[in-house]
Chains A and B, each alone.
Chain A
Amino acid sequence: MKIIKPIDDRTLVEELADLWRGRGILAVLIRRDISVRYRQAALGVLWALLQPIVTTAIFTVVFVLFIRLPSTDVPYPVFAFAGVVIWQYFNRAVSDGTTSLVTNAGLITKVYFPRIVIPLVAPCSAAVDCLVGVAALVGIALLFHAQLQWTAAFVPFVVLFVGLFGYAVGLCLAPLQAIYRDIGIVLPFALQIAMYLSPIAYPASVVPESVRWLYRLSPIAVMVDTMRWALVGSEPPSVAGLVFTLALTALLVWGGLNIFRRLEGTLVDSI
């Protein structure tokens, strides 16, 4: 028996149970997302490769040839590519996750299924592109004779971690975006600023010592550094940063689930 009640005084456990119940739909929506993404694109999945490659090439030209950035501990293209792959994954997980409820309005205003699965679709389907990027990263690392480390086995976990963080942010923002479209306007700009402020194209070592602690705590920096450390053995992220990022992720997931729980019942009325 199912009881439909006004105020959602459901517990987080019930919300997670919903997520589990909706796993079949989640799988279908992820598959849909992936197949739709490249369906009418002439280059198909190659786009997943082309984007980080072109971005890295431009970074290399600008930062190595023009700006003459102090050399990094691994070859610059490998350094930059690792950053770009992680950044692009995070970027898509957050931006697509945030708009997910609105883009799926046609679905959620017509049929019931656990809504909690929707913000999870983008991080999962974008993960496929990210893994393609990671495979390319390994190729580029070998091409530039970077030393692959045994810790490369941790790379899938890094990807999972980035996805989880992106999901948490999307979970918080998606219901808000459904009600206030301001979020969708500000978000691309905010993400762009975050990218410039993060050590994606440049190493944190070029940042003045006085603000470097911020870089050590920044979750994006931590994720990018973890990726570089795991794959090619550059300097590992700080323990403080790692703990902070994990704590922040947990907080955001918890907060996001709560926001979602409060708003999902009447979401349809505001979309």
Chain B
Amino acid sequence: MTVDDVLPAKVVQPKSAEELSEFLSTEKGAIVPIGAGTQASFGNPLRRADCAVDLKSLSRITEYVPADLTIHVEAGVTLEQVEHTLLENNQFLPLDPWNGPTATMGGIAAANSQGPFRAVGTIRDWVIGMKVVEIDGRISKAGGRVVKNVTGYDLQKLYTGSLGTLAIITEISLKLRAKFARTATAIARFADVQSAAACIAVIRKSPLQPVSCEWFGPDNEVWLRFGEDPRAVDWQLKNLPAADWKVVEGPDEIAAWERLRSKFLALGPIVLRVIGLPTLVREIIEEYRPAAWVAHALNGIVLMQIESGTEVSRVRSKYRAVIEKAPLAVRREVATFGLNDSEYDLMKRMKHAFDPEGRLNPGRHVDGERNL
């Protein structure tokens, strides 16, 4: 298996954190942890790897306690597996990464993968604890197994989004929520950016509380998902701003969101995540006129297709922006995260504190951010 054109000389497939710990305590080379590979085109390019740690055998759901609304899973467990398990108790995790349910939980956490449920949070809001193996083989945990906990430092936050460069996540504890008693999605197409933006502005000021609010362009479709008590969903559907809404529910709704996901996957080859504010979404789209985009409109985030790496710096002169996905050649030229100086310095030192020899996923995160 290659990552960013790097072919590790060997692959190990540990069956437990202990096995991984034992391996890492003697291994001296560079390590690349691998999940389902759904985020391979996200992040700065891997520089080298002597050994791949394939986490697919860490595939057990170690404990699921429906009455406590918690689940504890090994890192290689896929979102699909988790969703399937939760279904029998009408529970769920509001996570729907664009790259789909075959992503592993470890991978979703490491890459902080998101999707339309961004409106109700990201994985950091659901993780209550983590077990990791550090580069020297030390096994450590952070957080715990209970839904509310302030015991010790929240190191699971550090590992979330660090792309496996601080430690290898081997187990995650998550809190869950009850499945929405009903969901329904309203979709409307608008003539232009202005009218779509006007509709979203009305929604933003209204009492409506969609659990997803996506603005897909260039078709200027607004997608609103409501999830709540059935009566509250009804009320919200009745109080939509004037537009030609098409409401879908049940299997049609699931199919519709699958279509939006395919539309996202068709963006590219370069997609930039531009971070603004809800009131700036229209301005971002109008200023950069992307050929296609999906905006988490209520979060102020625009995922937009751009044509070349040079455009990234143009956007970054005004907004924070992360390269969501790009071919290797582009990622070699342009830093993925666009960190400012104080973040860069802090993160670089943090990386050093966990991995002084830079052997864990070298180059993927902060250590690949400058002097590419």
A binds B: no
